[in-house]
Amino acid sequence: MKSYDVVLIPGDGIGPEVADAAREVLDAAGINIRWQVFDAGIRAQEKGKETLPPELLEVVRETGAALKGPLTTPVGSGFTSVNVRLRRELGLYANLRPVKTLPGTRSLYPDVDLVVVRENTEGLYIAEETWEDNNTVSAVKRVTREASARIARFALEYARQHGRQSITTVHKANILKESDGLFLTTARDAAADYPEITFKDRIVDALCMDLVLDPGTHDLLLCPNLYGDILSDLAAGLVGGLGTVPGANLGEGCAVFEAVHGSAPDIAGRGIANPTALILAGAMLLRYLGEEEAAARVEKAVHAVYATGEISTPDQGGSATTDQFSRALIRFFDENHF
């Protein structure tokens, strides 16, 4: 059996609970992963380390792959988001978030199948905020042609490889004519090389309405950083909440897989978090490693367990614990001789 070194960052809040579940399920999926466990964020700080320890970055660069639980970011003051720094330090420029209805979940629509591609390195997320005087703050929104072209090509290439019919560039270029304007025109130029993919664009507020009325109006959303963040959670809401939506942060030769959701302090420590999102992020990781069959096995087990309607965590209307849910997946592997 081939084996892989993968970094595991359990994270904060529900992070360790869903990370344990994901690890057990991936370990049962028929491949050999040597997990290298690292703390980051608050847990690292509590142990007297930096919130983003340099040795963690080094090992992720070496192994090329990590599975990460959510990391808490203090609101208003305190340390800079470790998630944002991790993406920046490792050059993880593309954030890929497939949003799909799972059977037997609280999805508001029966057949959502949407992909959010989010620019991961710039926009307002550079967090350059300056007090101009005692009463005024300005924040820089940086948009470069290079990063815009890179993410547009990523989205178009993804669409081509996965048979997506159209891509919608999300913007507010009626107001932000220069910054969102550059993002939009760069995407449109890149799309000229992909004539088989329909290129659409939509102003972000109108797009929100489209998604709520009929998520099938769009196929793949190409988003600047902040709109992509917001639309990911909106899209997660369409399929019954954040508990089932995975994501990948991808760069050149390096990738960090995580759930779209955060550390969910409101339910942390109770053993009832839905591990599906991180488990499906784990399936994306397996596919990234070239283990297509194992990835498909994990996804099939998730679908099959939800389809029985017998077991789900409270966010999806059930009463299962995190552990009971992951054990149901492992039982599915056993019963189907996977």
Residues that bind ligand NAI (CB under 6 A): 14, 18, 70-73, 83, 242-243, 258, 261-267, 273-274, 277, 315
Which of 93, 125, 158, 306 is an active site residue? 125
Number of residues that bind Mg ion (CB under 5 A): 1
Q: Is 125 a catalytic residue?
A: yes
The DSSP element (H or E) to which 241 belongs, if any, is none
Which of 2, 111, 133, 205 is an active site residue? 205
Q: Which is nearer to Mg ion, 25 or 277 (CB)?
A: 277
Partner interacting with residue 274 (select from Mg ion, ligand NAI, none; CB below 5-8 Å by kind)? ligand NAI
| Tally of CB atoms within 10 A around 123 | 24
Q: Which is nearer to ligand NAI, 191 or 305 (CB)?
A: 305
With b meaning 16 or more CB within 10 Å and e meaning fewer, what string describes 328-338? Answer: bbbebbeeeeb
Angle among Cα 292, 105, 20 to the nearest 5 degrees reads: 55
- Any contact of residue 258 with Mg ion (CB under 5 A)? no
Q: Considering the complex, what minimum distance in angstroms separates the CB of residue 261 from ligand NAI?
A: 3
Q: Which is nearer to ligand NAI, 18 or 94 (CB)?
A: 18
CA 90 from chain center: how many Å? Answer: 16
Q: Is 219 a catalytic residue?
A: no
Using the contact rule CB under 5 A, the part of the chain among 26-34, 137-145, 225-233, 291-299 near Mg ion is 225-233
Q: Token digits for 221? A: 């959303």
Partner interacting with residue 317 (select from ligand NAI, Mg ion, none; CB below 5-8 Å by kind)? none
Q: Could you tell me if 136 and 176 are in contact, meaning their C-beta atoms sit under 8 angstroms apart?
A: no
Distance CA 235, CA 116 (A): 8
Q: Which is nearer to ligand NAI, 14 or 170 (CB)?
A: 14
Residue type for position 216? G
Q: Considering the complex, what minimum distance in angstroms separates the CB of residue 117 from ligand NAI?
A: 16
Q: Considering the complex, what minimum distance in angstroms separates the CB of residue 305 from ligand NAI?
A: 15
Partner interacting with residue 148 (select from Mg ion, ligand NAI, none; CB below 5-8 Å by kind)? none
Q: Is 300 a catalytic residue?
A: no
Distance CA 27, CA 53 (A): 26
Q: Token digits for 90? A: 């490792």
- Any contact of residue 119 with Mg ion (CB under 5 A)? no
Q: Which is nearer to ligand NAI, 122 or 315 (CB)?
A: 315
Partner interacting with residue 229 (select from ligand NAI, Mg ion, none; CB below 5-8 Å by kind)? Mg ion
State how far the alpha carbon of 25 is from the alpha carbons of 84, 215, 269, 308, in Å: 27, 30, 20, 18
- Any contact of residue 122 with Mg ion (CB under 5 A)? no
Q: Token digits for 262? A: 């955060």
Judged on CB neighbours under 10 Å (0-12, 13-18, 19+), 160 is middle
Q: Could you tell me if 271 and 17 are in contact, meaning their C-beta atoms sit under 8 angstroms apart?
A: yes
Q: Which is nearer to Mg ion, 17 or 229 (CB)?
A: 229
Q: Is 201 a catalytic residue?
A: no
Q: Which is nearer to ligand NAI, 97 or 202 (CB)?
A: 97
Partner interacting with residue 83 (select from ligand NAI, Mg ion, none; CB below 5-8 Å by kind)? ligand NAI
Please list the alpha-helical segments (H only) found in the chain. 15-27, 41-46, 54-63, 82-89, 145-161, 179-191, 204-213, 225-238, 276-288, 292-308, 322-335
Chosen residue from 119, 122, 229, 258 binding Mg ion by CB under 5 A: 229
| DSSP one-letter string for 202-215 | EEHHHHHHHHHH-G
Which of 12, 39, 180, 229 is an active site residue? 229
Residue 9's nearest CA partner among 47, 48, 46, 59 is: 59
Q: Considering the complex, what minimum distance in angstroms separates the CB of residue 51 from ligand NAI?
A: 12
Q: Considering the complex, what minimum distance in angstroms separates the CB of residue 272 from ligand NAI?
A: 7
Contact positions toward Mg ion, by CB under 5 A?
Answer: 229
Annotated catalytic residues are 125, 172, 205, 229
